[in-house]
Amino acid sequence: MSSAANLAYRKAAFLTVKGYQGNFEYSSGDGDFLLKKIVNEFGAESCRYMHHHTALVYTKAEES
């Protein structure tokens, strides 16, 4: 599972899998759909997870 708030990818990979194309009918899940497309195209070894507290990304929720 991924979140666009803490997801990084190469531009070439994004372009190869045609980015978010095919997911416009969904209001959420862009990061997950993109991650799955990249793994399907380039294999499981193309995905890495950073298991370290310094790699965490914090985002503040909007007040309204």
Per-residue pLDDT of the chain (64 residues; tens, 9 = 90+): 677 777 889 999 999 999 989 888 888 888 889 999 999 999 999 988 888 888 877 778 889 8
Backbone φ, ψ for residue 14 (5° rounding): -60, -45
Question: What is this structure's pTM?
Answer: 0.73
pLDDT of residue 41: 97
Q: How far is CA 40 from CA 45, 54, 61, in A?
A: 10, 28, 32
| Burial degree of 22 (CB within 10 A; 0-12, 13-18, 19+) | exposed
Which H/E stretch holds residue 37? helix 30-42
Closest of 30, 6, 27 to residue 19, by C-alpha? 30
